[in-house]
Amino acid sequence: MVDADGHDERDRANLAANGIQILPVSEIENLLLLPAVSRAILEMNDLEGNELETKLAGLKAAIFADAMSEKNVSEVVLGYCRRRIDRMLKQIDFSADKSIADLTTSYAARTGELDVSELASDIETKIAAAVGAGDLAALLAVYDRKKPLLALASSHLRNWKVEVFSAWTTRAIQSTRDDRLRRAISCVLPEVTAS
């Protein structure tokens, strides 16, 4: 499995053909922010009823507030475009070029195929649509502010420092006594199939 991390449909098809599943979120840490997983964390903290629902609503509101910041969205869009450019450059094969002139022509043609403004507009539209619809899962699929979002999870779900929360989640996922977090994460992961 790999992070969604800005993979386009072509990337997704290539990964699937090689038996690689894509997470439903842009970064693996975003799994903790999906409502079913966040709910399990709160339940493991003995929260229930209105208190649990209030905590979930507060976390969701904080994530959307983060995604409504123009500065934050610009950061996400820039990172997305950089990854797409990097991925495209890594896929170009120049081995057939026999001269500098051939290489120059190939390079210009291949890099000219990527419209960075269109990439930026596409990801901005996806973020805005998710925010407008209040669709947390759609937002987390494209919004990758790993450290700030992990800090939101830590403060809203356990009221701990990020380092303590991260260590706790690792232990909780591995726990044999209480498997609620592991089960919640398993439910949001893509189904693994043998290839």
Mean pLDDT across 125-140: 96
Percent of the chain with pLDDT over 90: 71
Query: Does position 40 have pLDDT exceeding 90, yes or no?
Result: yes
Range of the domain at 120: 29-188
How many whole angstroms separate alpha carbon 91 and alpha carbon 155?
40
Closest CA to 139 of 154, 155, 126: 126
Q: Which of 25, 62, 41 is nearest to 146 (CA)?
A: 25
> Is residue 1 in a domain?
no
Query: Does some domain include residue 169?
Result: yes
Number of domains in the chain: 1
Residue 142 lies in a domain: yes
pLDDT value at residue 195 = 52
**Is residue 76 predicted with pLDDT exceeding 70?**
yes
Q: In angstroms, rounded to a whole number, what is the distance separating the alpha carbons of residues 37 and 169?
A: 11
**Residue 3, domain member (yes or no):** no
Instruction: Give a yes or no: residue 158 inside a domain.
Output: yes
Q: Which of 2, 52, 38 is nearest to 180 (CA)?
A: 38
Residue 9 within any structural domain of the chain: no
CA distance 169 to 41: 9
Mean pLDDT of 94-98: 91
Position 93, amino acid: D
For residue 3, pLDDT over 80 is answered with no
- pLDDT above 70 (res 194): no
DSSP string, 33-72: GSHHHHHHHHHHTT--HHHHHHHHHHHHHHHHHHHT-HHH
User: 52 in a domain, yes or no?
Assistant: yes
Instruction: Calculate mean pLDDT across residues 133-158.
Output: 95
Cα(67)–Cα(75) distance, rounded to whole angstroms? Answer: 10
135, part of any domain: yes
What whole-number distance in Å separates Cα of residue 8 and Cα of residue 191? 20
Contacts by 10-13, CB closer than 8 A, 24 or more apart: 11/87
Residues 122, 153 contacting (CB under 8 angstroms): no
**Confidence at residue 193, expressed as pLDDT on a 0 to 100 scale:** 66
Answer yes or no: is pLDDT of 45 > 70.
Answer: yes
Place of tokens 């990020």: 162
The 10 Å Cβ neighbour count of residue 33 is: 26
